[in-house]
Amino acid sequence: MMMDRRDVLVSGTSAAALGMLPWAALAQDAEPEKTLEELIAEFTGGAEVTEGEGIMLDAPEIAENGNTVPISVEAEGASEILVLAPGNPVLPVATFKFGELAGKHAASTRIRLAQTQDVTAVAKLADGKFVRTAANVKVTIGGCGG
Amino acid sequence: MAENVKPRVRVPKTASAGEVITIKTLISHQMESGQRKDKDGNVIPRSIINHFSVSFNGAPVLDVAMEPAISTNPYFEFEAKVPESGEFLFTWKDDDGSVYEDRQSIEVS
């Protein structure tokens, strides 16, 4: 991911100011309202979802700071991509909808992860089919191997 | 809650017709998740930017529904096609009803 020095400083200091421990510590005692599969079914309207082909989810294997984890998703010709974090207290992360002037159907952002988990992305492709993929991210709290 | 919200957007100044350009956006916002508690154990209410959209001369480029899992100071990087000279409009919508906008024009030769 490309960030200039200023971006690094801004995100770094604000993450430190917020404190990363409370958010992660709270994650365990809040019950998610809907399960991962329920949310995916809601997104697809119950249609069949195939694994892999046609969708790419890029995330670091190890995230030292769960408060800001860079991810990027890409699905050629997709109209929508849903990103879910099954290990978070609130599973949905973001839904990207691509318009007619979108270039490559890809986007990068930074997300919060409460714990080590399989970040999941589901895309609605141009032909109306759905594909999903997942990437395991290890979250080491405090950066000293939690 | 939404003080000092400042959008920063990077769009190239020029492009050739039909070129695909990369756009980076950052907006300063604390993105309070609604999961944290204060010193007295009270939940700090959620206060996030819940929606981000980009259009070019009125045509949609990207539309993002955002949840509390988006990090502080939401950052997005994506690509857009520019068929002609014009203006990008970036819009962020806050939980408290505020709308933040930024415009960037691009010259197509």
CA distance B94 to chain A (A): 15
> Which residues in chain B touch residue A11, judged by CB atoms under 8 angstroms apart?
71-73, 75
Residue A146, pLDDT above cutoff 50? no
Residue B28: pLDDT band (50, 70, 90) is very high
Query: Is residue A94 in a domain?
Result: yes
Q: What are phi and psi of A24, to 5 degrees?
A: -70, -40
Say yes or no to pLDDT of A23 above 60: no
Q: Which of A83, A88, A101 to mutate to test the interface with B (most CBs of B within 10 A)?
A: A101
Each residue's pLDDT tens digit, A84-115? 999 999 999 999 999 999 999 999 999 999 99
pLDDT at A21: 47
A/B interface, count of CB pairs below 8 Å: 132
Determine the pLDDT at residue B78: 96
Is residue A16 in a domain?
A: no
Task: Convert the pLDDT of each residue in B71-93 to its tens digit.
Answer: 999 999 999 999 999 999 999 99
Residue ranges covered by each domain of chain B: 6-108
Mean pLDDT within B4-17:
91
Please state, rounded to an integer, the average pLDDT across all residues of chain A.
Answer: 81
ipTM score assigned to the predicted complex: 0.92
Return mean pLDDT, chain B.
Answer: 92
Q: Is residue A30 part of a domain?
A: no
Q: How far apart, in whole angstroms, are the C-alpha atoms of residue A56 and residue A68?
A: 20
CB contact under 8 A, A15 and B72: yes
Q: Considering just the CA atoms, what is the radius of gyration of chain B in Å?
A: 16
Task: Report the gap between the CA of B51 and the closest CA in chain A (Å).
Answer: 9
* Nearest by CB: B20 against A90, A104, A112: A104
In a domain, A121, yes or no: yes
- Could you tell me if residue A12 is inside a domain? no
Structural domain count of chain A: 1
Chain A residues with CB inside 8 Å of B26's CB?
7, 10
pLDDT, position B109: 84
Q: Which of A58, A56, A60 is nearest to A69 (CA)?
A: A60
Look at residue A65 and tell me if it is in a domain.
yes
> What's the pLDDT at B65?
96
Domain B6-108 architecture: Sandwich (2.60)
Residue A15 lies in a domain: no
- What does DSSP say about strands A69-74 and A56-58: parallel, antiparallel, or unpaired? antiparallel
Is pLDDT above 80 for B30? yes
Chain B within 8 Å of A14 (Cβ-Cβ)? yes
What is the CATH classification number for the domain harbouring A48? 2.60.40.2470
Which residue of chain A is at minimal alpha-carbon distance from B31?
Answer: A18
Q: With an 8 Å Cβ cutoff, are A113 and B69 in contact?
A: yes
Q: Which domain holds residue A93?
A: 36-141
